[in-house]
Amino acid sequence: MDPLTYAVFSFILVAGVTYVGGVLLFRWWSPVQRERLQQPQPKDEASSIVRWEDRTKAGWQRTLERLARALGPRDSARLSRARQRLVWAGYHDPRAARFFIGAKVGCAIVFGYAYTLYGIAIQQALPHVLPVSFILTVLGFLLPNFWLYNRTRARQRDVVNALPDVLDLLMVCVEAGMGFNAAVARVAEQPQMRQSPLHQELLRMHQEVRAGRPRPEALRALGERTGVREMKTVVGAFIQTEQLGTSLGKTLRIHADFARVQRRFRAEERAHVVPVLMLFPTVLFLLPAFVLVIMAPALLKLVKVLQAMGGIR
């Protein structure tokens, strides 16, 4: 094949792979949040977010709860830790800890028998059944922990990113003459804001205060439910402002500016890491193609010269 044909074919192959990869990445990991382009759909939420059903309706939930009660830990301290982690992930139902433990036990059982069932399905004796089944059992038991960790990280990241905007809205409402409770209700009860984890927690705090819970206690519970250090700092400032009688508007303005600066620093830090992350796919995918395009004509000419000289038969 002609060297020019090699070069053109390599260029078309690299361009096609790059185009397809870019389209797939843009489709699966779009930088534009699609929900921001959609019209907000009002939801009929007659029940309060601080209440939950006393009885489990779904059959799979009852199964998980039975597994947790039969095979799960009975130590109240471990259940409390699991419940706290689930609250950070956004699951406030007290039964969520039982469901989570039941899911861990169920995944361990399913993964543990998967290798054996596969051997039965193909009607063949598989090697190393016990070690592989043990490894799959451990993997299935730890898989829900991995899922919960990722969900907690994503939720806390959303809370931290939404904090400056929420503080700005609270500052505007307070400086317009509204009280703190009225400002929180005004910000949290917006229909288009119901999907944000921070707005959901603010709405929960507002309903707790309306139900009779003291405001400092409700604020501290808000900081504990999010598990975010920045939110705990803001909550502490709110409580201190209320105790000392200082201006809430100035406090909101200072913390809103600080949170906005911190968000910009986090964005700049992630932007500085991008070139390092792009280095690996560049070396892995583009560098071999560039080397092939540059060196292929010279190598082909060298092969022809060696064949003419009788070096290669």
Is the residue at 59 inside a domain? no
What is the CB neighbour count within 10 angstroms for residue 181? 13
Is the residue at 238 inside a domain? yes
Contact by Cβ (8 Å): 165, 156: no
Contact by Cβ (8 Å): 14, 281: no
Is the residue at 308 inside a domain? no
Helix axes 3-28, 287-309, angle to 10 degrees: 160
Could you read off the pLDDT of 181-209 as tens digits, one per residue? 888 888 887 766 667 888 888 888 888 88
Is the residue at 213 inside a domain? yes
Is the residue at 186 inside a domain? yes
Q: In total, how many domains does the chain have? A: 1
Could you read off the pLDDT of 86-138 as tens digits, one per residue? 888 888 887 888 888 888 888 888 888 888 888 888 878 778 888 888 999 99
Model pLDDT, residue 44 = 47
Model pLDDT, residue 146 = 92
Question: CA distances (Å), 73 to each of 67, 76, 106, 111, 215, in order?
Answer: 11, 8, 14, 20, 35
Is the residue at 150 inside a domain? no
Read off the CATH number of the domain in which 251 is found.
1.20.81
Structural domain range at position 229: 158-267
Could you read off the pLDDT of 212-242 as tens digits, one per residue? 888 889 989 998 888 888 888 889 988 888 8
- Contacts with 236 (C-beta within 8 Å, 6 or more apart), sequence order: 223
Q: Which residues of 84-97 are buried (b: 16+ CB within 10 A; e: fewer)?
A: ebbbbbbbbeebbb
Q: What is the mean pLDDT of the chain?
A: 80
In the block, residue with structure tokens 């690996």:
280
Model pLDDT, residue 150 = 92
- Contacts with 209 (C-beta within 8 Å, 6 or more apart), sequence order: 181, 215, 218
259's tokens: 């949170």
Model pLDDT, residue 303 = 81
Could you read off the pLDDT of 41-94 as tens digits, one per residue? 544 444 455 555 555 556 766 777 777 777 776 777 777 888 888 888 888 887
204's tokens: 């929960």
Length of the chain: 313
Is the residue at 106 inside a domain? no
Is the residue at 112 inside a domain? no
Model pLDDT, residue 149 = 92
